[in-house]
Structure 1
Amino acid sequence: MALRLRSRRDILAIQPDWQKLRGQYLGVVGAWDDQHDGADVQFEVRAFVGDGQGWEDPVTGSLNAAMAQWLIESGVAPAQYVATQGTTLHRAGRVFVVKDGDDIWIGGNVVTRVAGVITL
């Protein structure tokens, strides 16, 4: 399930009740205010996963893709924009969204934390 709230402030103010979210997957999105938040990003996104004790995903490509389709097709978002996710987790996730024809492209920068080889 996904919800759109009025603003980035509303998104950042959410304090999840993990008992009520048990078994649920919830994405929320809110627009940035150019004057208050800046103009380099258009949306704030959060993803709540009600498995086990509950947790928040710092950056979720599939959620951003689904939300992009919804936001762009409903006229809320332009065909190309930037979303941020992970703010409340002290992560600076940036998700770059581009609609190209019928396709939605999701991209971003990554940092390798662990690399290795598995031999089977």
Structure 2
Amino acid sequence: MSRTRSFVQVDVFSTSPYRGNPVAVVLDGADLTDEEMQRLARWTNLSETTFVLPPTLPEADYRLRIFTPQNELPFAGHPTLGSARAWLDGGGVPRHADRIVQECAAGLVTVRRGDGVLSFAAPPLVRDGAYLKQIVAAFGIGRDRVLAHQWVDNGPGWAVLQLATADEVLALEPDLSLIPTAMVGAIGAYPHGSRHDFEMRTFAPRCGVAEDPACGSMSAAVGQWLTSTGAAPSAYRVSQGARLGRAATIEITAGTDGTVWVSGATTVCIRGTIAV
């Protein structure tokens, strides 16, 4: 029998409500089955729906399971920030005042609290190296347009192409039927002095998400790649979602210890209950 649970939707990576990427959060998912979680995620039809559970590791404040409309992910970025905001908004008290520790299938993820903004530490990559294959064909561009390309996989399976300009990224009209199992993105630079340093787009046909409005996990992995190679400064700002009518801003900061932090606004837009 279903019962009523606390439920919120959080808009992530935009200071203007409803211009970022929403995540649905069930704050009490302790006795739900995998099938029930997946069914609800398919019904919300958001890029991700998450379920907060008691932690199994002593270092963690809570455990999080993350579902797309088609499958479960070991880690995802905007659901991490949105779920942390939802947990705090619902009365969660972390063990440490300055940070939250999230347990997920990818391991422990630290979420830093500061000046009302949440930032997560990019988890380690599980795969890297060059990758191109059918992506340029699906993007409808020549290989000569690609400055660099890389696996940037921290769990979901991301790969990315770097193009010369933000305008080239915004102009892409990908044919995702050519890459139905891909998790791929593109990033290109804005002119010096622009409000943002880069424009990024992410496509996740494997998860049933044609284009993600704002992607924290890819931002984290791309941040590790670009800052480590010197292709980007240690702190930069990414715009995402313009082609979808969104206005997301993702802040990337590489610390002196090599940790890459991903920051963005988190706004609780819906509070209520859901019968699951």
Shared fold, TM over 0.5: yes
C-alpha separation between the residues in 2 aligned to 1:89 and 1:60?
13
Matched, 1:109 2:265: yes
Matched, 1:50 2:205: yes
Q: Which has the larger radius of gyration?
A: 2
C-alpha separation between the residues in 1 aligned to 2:219 and 2:178?
23
C-alpha separation between the residues in 1 aligned to 2:176 and 2:275?
39
Instruction: Name which of 137, 142, 162 aligns with 1:4.
Output: 162
Which consecutive unaligned segments of at least 5 residues does structure 1 have?
none
Residue 29 (structure 1) aligns with: 187
Residue 20 (structure 1) aligns with: 178
The 1:50/1:119 distance shift into structure 2, 3 A limit, reads closer
1:46-96 superposed Cα distances (whole Å, 9 cap, x missing partner): 000113765100011110000001111111110001001111111100001
Identity of aligned residues (%): 32
TM-score in terms of structure 1 length = 0.88
SS at match of 1:40: coil
Structure scoring higher RCO (CA < 8 A, sep ≥ 6) equals 2
Residue 75 (structure 1) aligns with: 230
C-alpha separation between the residues in 1 aligned to 2:208 and 2:222?
25
Please say if residues 21 and 49 of structure 1, whose CA atoms lie closer than 8 Å, have aligned partners that are also in contact.
no
* Aligned partner letter, 1:89: L
* Aligned partner letter, 2:267: V
Give the aligned length: 117
* Aligned partner letter, 1:21: I
* Aligned partner letter, 1:7: T
C-alpha separation between the residues in 2 aligned to 1:113 and 1:16?
31
TM-score in terms of structure 2 length = 0.40
Compute the displacement of 1:116 (Å): 2.6
C-alpha separation between the residues in 2 aligned to 1:22 and 1:39?
34
Q: Which moved more, 1:71-80 or 1:105-114?
A: 105-114
SS at match of 1:111: strand
Please say if residues 96 and 106 of structure 1, whose CA atoms lie closer than 8 Å, have aligned partners that are also in contact.
yes
Q: Which moved more, 1:77-86 or 1:52-61?
A: 52-61
Residue 66 (structure 1) aligns with: 221
The structure with the largest strand share of the pair is 2
